[in-house]
Chains A and B, each alone.
Chain A
Amino acid sequence: KNEVEQSPQNLTAQEGEFITINCSYSVGISALHWLQQHPGGGIVSLFMLSSGKKKHGRLIATINIQEKHSSLHITASHPRDSAVYICAALNFGNEKLTFGTGTRLTIIP
């Protein structure tokens, strides 16, 4: 069993739909990191959160430390949101990131 698991692995949706990507982890963490990777490889850090909820534009990330679960939501999805979304558990003590396998999101116009 992976220490960080994401679901779904693949997600296809129509433009405008509300998107939810889930991340569960079994390790002790200092924070949970959500990353976006577009074709070509570049990775962008979307959120790093250790409690509660963060919002940036149409993206919202939540985390429940007790349940060891985090979600990434995208409101009013757009084709440019098509990418792979990766969650990663961070241990501040050793700066080690443990990655989920990623969710490939495709938004159809």
Chain B
Amino acid sequence: KAGVTQTPRYLIKTRGQQVTLSCSPISGHRSVSWYQQTPGQGLQFLFEYFSETQRNKGNFPGRFSGRQFSNSRSEMNVSTLELGDSALYLCASSLALGTTYEQYFGPGTRLTVT
């Protein structure tokens, strides 16, 4: 089956702009999580969506938001971009069934803010 896809793969924006990143999960996976990876902070959890509802949120400012559609595809939005938002943004889709749990990561979107 197809893996997790993220678009775009690379993006360059300027300070103050906003950006929307997209993630399509593996078919049948209803949970999508977003992560930010920077050299200084490593990987950090942004938020997680399940059945169009945000179930959990990490410690990021309100400029970071997301949503999930009925087909489980998810988008995250960052408004008023800052230089520090330059990072690799990863999404992962997961499926939990009884004692079985699987999670797959997408290739990431590399955002550069200038």
Interface residues of A (CB under 8 A from B): 31, 33, 35, 41-45, 48, 86, 88, 90, 92, 94-99, 101-102
Contacts and interface: CB of A to CB of B under 8 A. Distances in A.
Interface in B30-48: 31, 33, 35, 37, 42-45, 48
A41 B48 contact: no
Contact of B101 (A41, A42, A48, A99): A48
A31 B103 CA distance: 12
Nearest to B35: A97
A99 B94 contact: no
For the residues of A in contact with B, the DSSP-based class is strand
Contacts of A42: 105, 107-108
B108 A96 contact: no
Contacts of B94: 95
Nearest to B44: A99
Q: Determine which residue in A43, A88, A95, A99 has the highest number of CB atoms from chain B within 10 A of its CB, and name it.
A: A95
B64 interface: no
Interface stretch (B16-24, B50-58, B67-75, B78-86): B50-58
B96 interface: yes
B13 interface: no
A95 B33 contact: yes
A41 B103 CA distance: 17
Nearest to B50: A95
Given A94-B55, A96-B48, A86 B43 contact: yes
B31 A95 contact: yes
Contact of B45 (A97, A101, A102): A97
